C-alpha cells in the first residue's frame, strides 16, 4: 500500500521554530518548556525578570531609555522599547520559519511590544503565531483596555492569534477554588499542558509531527480568533471525560467555539496501547460537536512507546472560527518569503519510525479541501480522477497503523 504514495522526499532540513516569551507572564510561561525541542528566547524590558526566566537566550528591550526597570504598565513604553531594538530583532527572526510568541496582555511590555515583534517577525518572512493571555476580570478596566488595544493591533500584524483569557484558564483547572496568590499559578497549569503538547505537534523530531506546509496553511487561513485547549485524559474514562470536560471546556467558550468552528486541528499523543477505535470515536465526537461540517478538519496522532504514556491520551485542539479560502498576500518579496528549504515532504503519512522510536499515524477523514497546496491551481483531471489529490485518499485506502 505504501507504494501508492510514491517516493517520500526528505526536507532539506526541519523547519526552525523559535518560542519567544515576552514580558513578565511570557517569560514565566517559558519555564514549562524546559527540555522541549525548540529554540527559546525571553524578551522583556525588566532586566531582573529577564534574568529570572532561566531561558537560554535573553533579549532586553529599551535598555537605553528604561535602564532595565520595566514599563510600569505603560504600553507606549513597551512599543518604543521594541522599536529601539528593531534591527537586532529582525536579525533574530530571520533565522526562523515560525516564531511563536507567548505573552500576557494588560501590562506595558507585552501589550506594547508584541504587535511590533509580530510585525518584525512577519517582515522577516517568519510565520507568526501569538498566544496571548487576557487579564483576569478582577485586574480592572485599565488592564482590559490595554489588552483590547493590543489585540486589535495583533489582529493586523500576526498571522495567527490565540487568546487565552486568564479567567477561563483558571476555570479549566480542577480542584479547590484558588486563593488570589495561586490564581496565576493555576492559570499557568492550563497553559503548561497546552504549550508542550502543541510544541510536540510542531517540532520535527517529536512524537507527533505536523507537516510545516500544512501548519502554515492552517494558521494563515484559520487566522486570528483561535482557541487553544489541551487535556490529558485516562483511556478508561475517555468517553465520559470528553463529554464532561472537552466539549464544554471554558477554553473552548463552553462548547460554543466548537459549535461554530470552521477550522479544527486535533493533535493526539497516546501510548503504545492507544486503540484506533478510541481515536476514531474522538475525531467523530469532535466533528459532531460542530454545528455544520468545518471547512477544514485535520487529525494528527502519534503513539509514544514510553510506558508512562500508556493508559492516557493527551489531546490538543486548535479551533478557528473562520477559514479563509485564499492565503493572505505575503508581506515580504516572494523570493525572501519562500525559501526552498521551507518545503516539507508531501506527507508524513505512513512514514515508519526511522527518525525515532515513535510511530506517526493519521486518520484519513474526508475533508472538503483535499487538494492541499494545489487547492488554488487548476485541477489535473484524468478520466474523472483529480490527480492533485493523493492516490491513497482518492482511492479511499486506509493507511495501516505500523
Ligand X SMILES: Nc1nc2c(ncn2[C@@H]2O[C@H](COP(=O)(O)OP(=O)(O)OP(=O)(O)O)[C@@H](O)[C@H]2O)c(=O)[nH]1
Report the interface residues with ligand X, using CB under 6 A.
23-25, 28, 45, 70-71, 73, 104, 106-110, 133, 135-136, 139, 143, 166, 184, 187-188
Output the nine-digit C-alpha cell for 318.
486548535
- Nearest 10 degrees: Cα torsion 280, 285, 286, 292: 120
188 binds, among Mg ion, ligand X, none (CB under 5 to 8 A by kind): ligand X
104 binds, among Mg ion, ligand X, none (CB under 5 to 8 A by kind): ligand X
* Between 187 and 233, CB nearer to Mg ion: 187
* Between 316 and 358, CB nearer to ligand X: 316
| Nearest distance, CB of residue 203 and ligand X, angstroms | 23
| Nearest distance, CB of residue 156 and ligand X, angstroms | 19
Residue 400 contacts residue 1 (beta carbons within 8 Å): yes
Alpha carbon 87 to its chain centroid, in Å, reads 26
Closest CA to 225 of 133, 296, 322, 103: 322
73 binds, among ligand X, Mg ion, none (CB under 5 to 8 A by kind): ligand X
71 binds, among ligand X, Mg ion, none (CB under 5 to 8 A by kind): ligand X
Closest CA to 360 of 342, 370, 347: 347
| Nearest distance, CB of residue 107 and ligand X, angstroms | 2
* Between 137 and 332, CB nearer to ligand X: 137
Binding site for Mg ion (CB under 5 A): 24
| Nearest distance, CB of residue 45 and Mg ion, angstroms | 8
| Nearest distance, CB of residue 155 and ligand X, angstroms | 19
| Nearest distance, CB of residue 25 and ligand X, angstroms | 3
| Nearest distance, CB of residue 128 and ligand X, angstroms | 18
Residue 339 contacts residue 333 (beta carbons within 8 Å): no
350 binds, among Mg ion, ligand X, none (CB under 5 to 8 A by kind): none
CA–CA gap between residue 322 and residue 173 (Å, rounded): 27
| Nearest distance, CB of residue 117 and ligand X, angstroms | 12
203 binds, among Mg ion, ligand X, none (CB under 5 to 8 A by kind): none
Q: What is the C-alpha radius of gyration for the chain, rounded to an integer number of angstroms?
A: 21
* Between 24 and 115, CB nearer to Mg ion: 24
Q: Which residues contact 183 (CB under 8 A, 6 or more apart)?
A: 136, 166, 170
* Between 143 and 296, CB nearer to ligand X: 143
Burial class of 372 by CB neighbour count within 10 A (0 to 12, 13 to 18, 19+): middle
- In sequence order, the β-bridge partners of residue 165 are 134
* Between 125 and 133, CB nearer to ligand X: 133
Output the nine-digit C-alpha cell for 70.
520595566
320 binds, among Mg ion, ligand X, none (CB under 5 to 8 A by kind): none
106 binds, among ligand X, Mg ion, none (CB under 5 to 8 A by kind): ligand X
* Between 45 and 314, CB nearer to ligand X: 45
Q: Please list, residue by residue across 161-197, b when 16 or more beta carbons sit within 10 angstroms of its beta carbon and e when fewer do.
A: bbbbbbbbbbbbbeeeeeeeeebbebbbbbbbbbbbb
Angle between helices 75-84 and 141-157 (to 10 degrees): 40
Residue nearest to Mg ion according to CB distances in the complex? 24
Amino acid at each position: 500500500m505504501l507504494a501508492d504514495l510514491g517516493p517520500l522526499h526528505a526536507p532539506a532540513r526541519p523547519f526552525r521554530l523559535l518560542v519567544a516569551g515576552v514580558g513578565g507572564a511570557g517569560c514565566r510561561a517559558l519555564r514549562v518548556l524546559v527540555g522541549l525541542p525548540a529554540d527559546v528566547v525571553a524578551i522583556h524590558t525588566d532586566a531582573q525578570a529577564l534574568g529570572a526566566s532561566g531561558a537560554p537566550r535573553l533579549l532586553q528591550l529599551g535598555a537605553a531609555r528604561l535602564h532595565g526597570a520595566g514599563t510600569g504598565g505603560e504600553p507606549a513604553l513597551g512599543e518604543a522599547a521594541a522599536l529601539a531594538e528593531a534591527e537586532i530583532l529582525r536579525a533574530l527572526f530571520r533565522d526562523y520559519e515560525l516564531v511563536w510568541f507567548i505573552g500576557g496582555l494588560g501590562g506595558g511590555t507585552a501589550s506594547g511590544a508584541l504587535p511590533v515583534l509580530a510585525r518584525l517577525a512577519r517582515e522577516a518572512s517568519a510565520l507568526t503565531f501569538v498566544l496571548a493571555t487576557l487579564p483576569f476580570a478582577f485586574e480592572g478596566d485599565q488592564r482590559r483596555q490595554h489588552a483590547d488595544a493590543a489585540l486589535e493591533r495583533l489582529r493586523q500584524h500576526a498571522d495567527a492569534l490565540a487568546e487565552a483569557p486568564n479567567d477561563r484558564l483558571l476555570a479549566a483547572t480542577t480542584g479547590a477554588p484558588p486563593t488570589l496568590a495561586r490564581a496565576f499559578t493555576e492559570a499557568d497549569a492550563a497553559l503548561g499542558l497546552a504549550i508542550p503538547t502543541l510544541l510536540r505537534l510542531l517540532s520535527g523530531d517529536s512524537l507527533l509531527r505536523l507537516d510545516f506546509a500544512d501548519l502554515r496553511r492552517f494558521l494563515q487561513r484559520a487566522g486570528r480568533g483561535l482557541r487553544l485547549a489541551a487535556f490529558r485524559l485516562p483511556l478508561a474514562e475517555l468517553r465520559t471525560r470528553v463529554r464532561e470536560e472537552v466539549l464544554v471546556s471554558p477554553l473552548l467558550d463552553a462548547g460554543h467555539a466548537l459549535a461554530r468552528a470552521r477550522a479544527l486541528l486535533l493533535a493526539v499523543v497516546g501510548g503504545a496501547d492507544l486503540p484506533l477505535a478510541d481515536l476514531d470515536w474522538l475525531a467523530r465526537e469532535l466533528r459532531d460537536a460542530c454545528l455544520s461540517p468545518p471547512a477544514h478538519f485535520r487529525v494528527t496522532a502519534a503513539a509514544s512507546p514510553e510506558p508512562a504514556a500508556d493508559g492516557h491520551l493527551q489531546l490538543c485542539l486548535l479551533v478557528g472560527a473562520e477559514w479563509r479560502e485564499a492565503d493572505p498576500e505575503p508581506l515580504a518579496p516572494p523570493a525572501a518569503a519562500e525559501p526552498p528549504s521551507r518545503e516539507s515532504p508531501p506527507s508524513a503519512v505512513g512514514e515508519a519510525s526511522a527518525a525515532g522510536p515513535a510511530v506517526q499515524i493519521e486518520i484519513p477523514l474526508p475533508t472538503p479541501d483535499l487538494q492541499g497546496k494545489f487547492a488554488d491551481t487548476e485541477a489535473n483531471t484524468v478520466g474523472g480522477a483529480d490527480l492533485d489529490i493523493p492516490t491513497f485518499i482518492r482511492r479511499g485506502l486506509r493507511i495501516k497503523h505500523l
